[in-house]
Structure 1
Amino acid sequence: MMPDVFSTLSVTAPEALGLNGRVLAALERRIALAFPDVTSLLVARHGQLAFERYFDGKAADPRDTQSVTKSILSFLTGTSLQRGLLSSLEQPVLPLLSRISATIQDSRWAEVQVRHLLTMTCGLPSEITDASYDDAWFTSQDPVRFALEYPLLDAPGTTFRYSNAGVHVLGAALAEAAGQPLAAFAQETLLGPLGVVAPNWPADPYGRPFASGSLHLTSREMLRFGQLTLQRGWWNGTELIPAGWIEQATRPQLKGFEWMEGLPDYGLLWWVTHESGTAGWYATGYGGQYVAVFPEHGLVVVMTGRVSDHPPHRQLIPELLGTVLG
C-alpha cells in the first residue's frame, strides 16, 4: 500500500520524483500562451505533489468537475456492493426505484441492470448526439421519471450510448439502496474520508443531486480522488473502495465514443486507454476536466478547464506523460 498523501500538500521538486522540471516549466508557458481555457494543472507522483499551477482562480476555488462525477459514482457503486446494499451488477434496476412514480412505456426497462447503467448500455439515447433529448431530460420536472418513461433505442446491454440520464437513474437507485440521499451517502463513504466538506452538487427539482455531473471539487480534491484510485481504494489506512472494484472499473468493458476524448475503451464509468506505452485511466468532464491515473508510473494528473465549448486540451496529458518521465 502506498503512503497517505496530501495532508499538507507540500510540493516535492519534480526531479526528486523522476520528472523533468524544465519540461513542466515549458508546458506551463505553452498553456499560458496557447491554451487559454485551461484553468489548472496538477501533477503528483508516488504520492507526492510535484507541480501545481493555476491559470484562472486559486487553489481553494471549487471547480465544476462535470462528468468526472460519473467516475465518483462508479466508486459509490463499488462501495454499495461491498456493503451488501446491492446484490450484484446483474441486479435489475426497476425494483430499486419502486418508490418513484413512473409509467413505464417500454417493457425492456425490466431487463436493465446496474451493469448496463455503468457501461452506458441501458438503451437510452445519448444527450451528446441528441440535443433535443438533452434539453427535454435536463429541464423536466422529474428527470428520473422522464428517463424511465422514455422508449429505449436498443435492447439493454447491446449498444454503447453515452447517457447522462442513465447515470442519474443509477444515482437514484443507489440512494434507494442505501436508504439515504445520494449526497449524504457519498459524504459518509467517500468524500468525507478524503477531506471534502459538503461540496456544491446541483440537484434536480426532487432534490436528487445530478449523478451524471457537476459535483464541485477543488483541483486538489480531484487529485486526492485520483490518488485514491492509484492506491487501489486505500486512504489513511482504510480501504474506502474495494481494490477489486477499482480493477474492474478501470478494465475495458466495451468500445466507447472515441471521438469524444480520443479514448477508445470504456470501463465502469471510467475511460481506459494506453498512451506512451502505458495504461491510463481517465475520469473526464465537459470543458476539459480530467483526472488521469497512470498506475505503472505512480502518476496522477489533474487538469481543469472552462466549462464551455473550446478546442480540446487533453492532448497535453499524453504529451506530458511522454516527456517528463525518466
Structure 2
Amino acid sequence: MLGLNEAALLTLERQIALDFPDVTSLLVARHGQLAFERYFVGQAADPRDTQSVTKSILSLLTGIALQRGLLSSLEQPVLPLLAHIPATIQDSCWAAVQVRHLLTMTCGLPSELTDASYDDAWFTSQDPVRFALEYPLIDAPGTTFRYSNAGVHVLGAALAKAAGQPLATFAQDVLLGPLGVVTPEWPADPCGRPFASGSLHLTSREMLSFGQLTLQRGWWNDTELVPSSWIQQATQPQLQGFEWMEGIPDYGLLWWVAHENGTLGWYATGYGGQYIAIFPEHDLVVVMTGQVTDHPPHRQLIPELLTTVLR
C-alpha cells in the first residue's frame, strides 16, 4: 500500500472516530497516489472552509505574480499598489512596508489573535483594506512577527492591482483552474474583495491537489504552474512565528515549517484544524479538516501518523 501500514491507518481512523469528534476528513497521498481517504462528517464532494490555509495558496499566487513580472520583487513597496484605495495614511511607516513584510507577518500591524477588539473592528469595517492602511503600525516594518489577517488581506488587494484583475479571477486563471478547481466559494468583504486571509472553500481532494502541487515544486501535468524557486523560498524558515498557535516554531512566506521527529514538514494551517501537511522526504501529503469551531487541537495526529504509518 505505497509503503504505508494499512493496519496503523485503520487504527488511526478508529482513534479519530472515538476521541476526535471535530475531525471531518483525513486524506493521505504518497508518491502522487491517494492511499487513504475517510470522511467523518460530510462527503467527498462537500467543500470545506479552509480558513487560513487560504494564506498559503495566496503565497503560491504571489510566486506566480513575481514570475510573470506583475510584481517586481519581494522588496516592492505596497502603498503604490494601493493608491486607488481612498485611505488617509496616518502612519508614515506604511511607506516602508514591502511585499515581503506582508508574506512574513512583519508589516507592523497588530495581531487579531491577541487583540479581539481590533479583530472585530477591521473584519466588520466597510472597507477592511482601508481600515488596515489607516491603522497605526505598532512595530517598524520587518522587525516583529505578529500573525495578521488584515496584513494578508492587504496583500491580496495589492496582488489584484498588480494583476490588473480581481483576485478571485486571477487565482482561477493561473492556479485554481489548471488544478481543476471550478469557481469555489470565497467570501468577500463589503467592497467585493475576497478575503485573502481565509475561508476559500475547497473539497478535501482539492486541498490535496494543492499539497501535491507544492510537493512537486510547482509542477502539475508537465507544466510549471508555480516557480520551483518560489516553492523553495516560501517553505524556508524566515523567522520565528507564534509557536503557541500550532506547536510549529518557524514561519516561511505564508507557510509554516516544522520538523516532526526529525522529518521536515511544510504546513498550511487554518482555524478549526484545517491542514495541508507535506513531507518531502517521504513523498507524502496529508490533508485533515475539522469543524470550524473552538475545540481541542488535533494536529498531533499528523506527527503520530508519521511515526506509525510509514513503513
Residues 91-102 of structure 1: pairs in structure 2 closer than 5 A: 91-102=76-87
1:88-123: per-residue Cα shift (whole Å, max 9, x none)?
000000000010100001000000000000000000
Q: Which residue of 2 aligns with 1:187?
A: 172
The answer to whether structure 1 residue 162 and structure 2 residue 147 are counterparts is: yes
Query: 2:262, 2:71 → 1: CA distance?
Result: 37
Q: Which residue of 2 aligns with 1:305?
A: 290
Shift of 1:176: 0.2
Look up the SS of the partner of 2:110 in the other structure.
coil
Q: Which residue of 1 aligns with 2:70?
A: 85
Query: 1:24, 1:278 → 2: CA distance?
Result: 19
The answer to whether structure 1 residue 176 and structure 2 residue 161 are counterparts is: yes
- Consecutive aligned runs of 4 or more in structure 1 exceeding 4 Å deviation: none
Query: 2:108, 2:68 → 1: CA distance?
Result: 28
Look up the SS of the partner of 2:232 in the other structure.
helix
1:247-279: per-residue Cα shift (whole Å, max 9, x none)?
000000000000000001000000001112210
107, 121, 146: which one aligns with 1:136 = 121
Residues 39-78 of structure 1: pairs in structure 2 closer than 5 A: 39-78=24-63
Letter of the 1:20 counterpart: N
Q: Which residue of 2 aligns with 1:122?
A: 107
Query: 2:296, 2:242 → 1: CA distance?
Result: 18
Q: Which residue of 2 aligns with 1:270?
A: 255
Q: Which residue of 2 aligns with 1:284?
A: 269
188, 206, 213: which one aligns with 1:203 = 188
Query: 2:167, 2:20 → 1: CA distance?
Result: 36
Q: Which residue of 2 aligns with 1:254?
A: 239
Look up the SS of the partner of 1:75 in the other structure.
helix
Query: 2:245, 2:307 → 1: CA distance?
Result: 22
Shift of 1:207: 0.4
Q: Which residue of 1 aligns with 2:16?
A: 31
1:163-220: per-residue Cα shift (whole Å, max 9, x none)?
0000000000000000000000000000000000000000001100000000000000
Letter of the 1:249 counterpart: A
Shift of 1:322: 1.0
Letter of the 1:139 counterpart: T
Query: 2:219, 2:119 → 1: CA distance?
Result: 37
Structure 2, unaligned runs of 5 or more: none
1:286-324: per-residue Cα shift (whole Å, max 9, x none)?
000000000010000000000000000000000001111
Q: Which residue of 2 aligns with 1:19?
A: 4
* TM-score normalised by structure 2 residue count: 1.00
Letter of the 1:61 counterpart: D
Q: Which residue of 1 aligns with 2:214?
A: 229
Q: Which residue of 2 aligns with 1:323?
A: 308
Letter of the 1:324 counterpart: V
Letter of the 1:262 counterpart: G
Query: 1:323, 1:252 → 2: CA distance?
Result: 27
Look up the SS of the partner of 1:220 in the other structure.
helix
Letter of the 1:104 counterpart: I
Letter of the 1:278 counterpart: T
Letter of the 2:172 counterpart: Q
Q: Which residue of 2 aligns with 1:151?
A: 136
Q: Percent identity?
A: 85
1:101-157: per-residue Cα shift (whole Å, max 9, x none)?
000010000000000000000000000000000000000000000000000000000
Q: Which residue of 2 aligns with 1:242?
A: 227
Look up the SS of the partner of 2:178 in the other structure.
coil
* Alignment length (residue pairs): 311
Letter of the 1:18 counterpart: G
